[in-house]
Amino acid sequence: MPGFRDIVGHKEAIQHLESAMKLDKVSHAYIINGEKGSGKKLLASAFAQVLQCERKEKDSCGECRSCRQAESGNHPDIIRIVHEKPNSISVDEIREQLVNDVQIKPYSSKYKIYIVPEAEKLTVQAQNALLKTIEEPPFYAVIILLTVNASTLLPTVLSRCVMLNMKPVSDKQVRQYLMEHVQIPDYQADICSAFSHGNIGRAMELATSEKFQEIKSAVLALARDAANMEIQDIIVSVKSMVDFKLFIEDFFDLLAVWYCDVLYFKATKDVDGLAFKDQVQMISDQTSKSSYEGLERILDGIQKAKQRINANVNFELTMELLFMTIKESLA
């Protein structure tokens, strides 16, 4: 379990927490809101460890008894709420693990900290039970709700918590993190960072995913051959796309990144701004054969294909229309 020093990005959230500790104004209730993989659990764990550290200044020491317990996941005063049903956290679970337990004073620390992952799954009854504790907490209690969608929480809960929103990490920071921790080459880190939209968890998943590499290869093959495809070639390509049906959003997004690269390079000739830096020769070739209007039509076609798939339009028909749009726009 790391301290703040090991978190990439999220400076505003960290500075808020550091300031609260420095001024001895730690809130009894926080909501950390952000998409899956954005670092909510990491931030909550680091905050908990820093709060409980016996030698802390701005960060945890990593050496005291409290830090060692936190890092091993065995700290008696850092409690993580668990739930049996995958889609809900019941009122009984909240009462047993938090509402009743919080009445017991900390075993060895200044604070007793409760981390509630997937707080969007709290039932209304569970939230109401939790609300009473948030309204009148023991002086030592700190409750941290982690959620991908804070709007699912009751207004009464939202109004009594400090909200920390996880913001995207810069592509540069994501790229550096991947190269250092996953040890992938720079050109692969470029793609994963551009495609992750500032989400390090997502970038890590992509960097280690064989399926993502297959989708990338399919995108490059389409980009290379689209202009010269005949109808029969398009039909064959569409049939091969069925293998990616469950990952079609990734395919669309990666295809959009490719044509954004072509459009960007056509306008600027700047290699450093490309996601597909390792394909600069093919990008350069396509810019000379593509018009701005044609590239805009392709990007619009990708967006329409996404909308059709989400509206349950026939998969093969949607892909045929997209491939025809790409072919005609590059002619």
Residue 317 has pLDDT above 70, yes or no: yes
Position 2 confidence tier, pLDDT thresholds 50, 70, 90? low
For the chain, what's the residue count? 331
Max CA distance (Å), the chain = 73
Position 150 confidence tier, pLDDT thresholds 50, 70, 90? very high
Residue 92 has pLDDT above 80, yes or no: yes
Position 100 confidence tier, pLDDT thresholds 50, 70, 90? very high
Q: Which residues pair with 143 in a beta bridge?
A: 29, 114
pLDDT of residue 187: 79
Write the pLDDT tens digit of every residue in 252-281: 888 888 889 889 998 999 888 888 888 888
Distances in Å between the Cα of 24 and the Cα atoms of 17, 29, 57, 161 are 10, 14, 12, 17
Q: Which of 30-39, 90-99, 267-276 has the lowest mean pLDDT?
A: 267-276
pLDDT of residue 124: 94
For the full predicted model, state whether its pTM sits above 0.85.
no
pLDDT of residue 98: 94
pLDDT of residue 28: 94
pLDDT of residue 321: 86
Q: Which of 3-12, 14-23, 142-151, 156-165 has the lowest mean pLDDT?
A: 3-12
Residue 241 has pLDDT above 80, yes or no: no
Residue 288 and residue 261: Cα distance in Å, rounded? 13
- Give the residue, 320 or 299, on which the prediction is more confident: 299
Averaged pLDDT score across all residues of the chain: 87
112-116 β-sheet, strand order:
78-80, 112-116, 141-147, 29-33, 162-165
Q: Which of 47-61, 129-143, 299-313 has the lowest mean pLDDT?
A: 47-61
Write the pLDDT tens digit of every residue in 195-236: 778 888 888 888 887 888 888 888 888 778 777 777 777 777
Q: Which residue has tokens 């072509």? A: 262
Q: Which of 10-24, 129-143, 221-235 has the lowest mean pLDDT?
A: 221-235
Write the pLDDT tens digit of every residue in 50-83: 999 888 766 788 888 998 999 888 899 999 999 9
Write the pLDDT tens digit of every residue in 41-57: 989 999 999 999 888 76
pLDDT of residue 331: 61
DSSP structure class, residue 141: E
